[in-house]
A and B are shown apart, each in its own frame.
Chain A
Amino acid sequence: MALFPDPFNSLLGLQNTLDAFRRSGWLQSGPSGDGSYPPLNIFRRKDDFVLVAEIPGVNRSDLEIQVKGRTVRLSGSKTVRYDEKASLHRRERSSGRFDRSVALPVEIDPDRVIAECHDGVLALTLPRAEADKPRSIRLN
């Protein structure tokens, strides 16, 4: 046990805290909650956005998807079941609740959102709202 506080350790701690704060999404308008479950990737396909998330082992009935304005919210829970009499040798899969909101840079048309889930991968097609699309103006 050191008598003095370790300056190196405190600096590292401060840096980690600052990094965590910077990543937490409080300071930016981009997709929020980096590091929260489920991890997701966002792609652009022409005018539309596609959100892809890996959710292996999440039941369809345990997943809720909400869309409003620019925000997509994914919430639900994942359960990992073991046989009661089984003895565990290795446990890496985790279970629990999740609730995550993501803000996109454009307005989404909630009526045309397509949600698909195959082989544990959720894909949300998020079409840009017509009202949000830029219009080209012709010169007379």
Chain B
Amino acid sequence: MSGSQELAVREKQELAKKEEKTTPGRYFVPTADIFETEQALIVVMEMPGVKKDHVSIEVEEDVLRIEGQLDFAAYEGMDPVYTEYNIGHYARGFTLSGKIDREAINARLEDGVLTLTLPKAKEAMPRRITVN
């Protein structure tokens, strides 16, 4: 919020495996912000290097699962001489409450930042009651 502070590096966290992956490569947990407005729950995730068509968003039962696949082809023919971070795919899951309108979930990817808008179901929206 205050734009004047010095930025610190956040070390990438490797995903603790719940199930085995069948694709090669490491998985990291993308850093995320979650906030709520009157109409929706908004999840913002940082997935640098992931292209738009390599993001998969699935809702299964109560779990929202987001996966971003990294294309390693860009790194072909390059010899690393100095490294500070590792690269890999991204995966993260969230448990949804029943108040989300699952059909209307909207996603946008911009500059490596994925923004998911999860609109609240009509019943869960706050209502203003006027006094007659």
Taking Cβ atoms with an 8 Å cutoff, the residues of A that contact B are 30-31, 34-45, 49-50, 54-59, 77-80, 82-83, 85-98, 117, 119-121, 123
In the bound complex, residues from chain B placing their C-beta under 8 Å from that of A86 are: 35-37, 42
Contact B33 A56 (CB under 8 A): no
Cβ-defined partner of B48 (8 Å) among A83, A87, A120: A120
The answer to whether B47 and A77 touch across the interface, beta carbons within 8 angstroms, is no
- Which of A88, A97, A120: most chain B CB closer than 10 A? A120
Indicate whether B3 reaches chain A with its CB closer than 8 angstroms: yes
* A94 CA / B46 CA spacing, docked (Å): 11
- Find out whether the CB atom of B7 lies under 8 angstroms from the CB atom of A96: yes
Q: Is the Cβ of A58 less than 8 Å from the Cβ of B111?
A: yes
* Cβ contact of B10, chosen from A89, A94, A97, A117, cutoff 8 A: A94
Contact B33 A96 (CB under 8 A): no
Q: Tell whether, in the assembled complex, residue B7 and residue A95 are in contact, meaning their CB atoms are under 8 Å apart.
A: yes
Report if B51 contacts A (CB, 8 A).
yes
Q: Are A120 and B112 in contact (CB under 8 A)?
A: yes
CB distance from B9 to the nearest CB of A (A): 5
B-chain residues with CB within 8 Å of residue A88 when the two chains form the complex: 33-35
**What's the interface size class on B, roughly?**
35 or more
Instruction: Find out whether the CB atom of A43 lies under 8 angstroms from the CB atom of B48.
Output: no
CA distance A58 to B46 in the complex (A): 11
A-B contact pairs, 8 of them (CB 8 A): A42-B83, A44-B81, A55-B48, A57-B112, A77-B3, A87-B36, A90-B32, A96-B2
Q: Say yes or no: B33 contacts A90, CB within 8 Å.
A: yes
| A41–B111 CA distance with the chains assembled, in angstroms | 19
Q: Which of B31-57 contact A (CB under 8 A)?
A: 31-38, 41-42, 44, 46-51
Contact between A85 and B4, CB atoms less than 8 A apart: no
For residue B47, give the distance in angstroms from its CB to the closest CB of chain A. 7
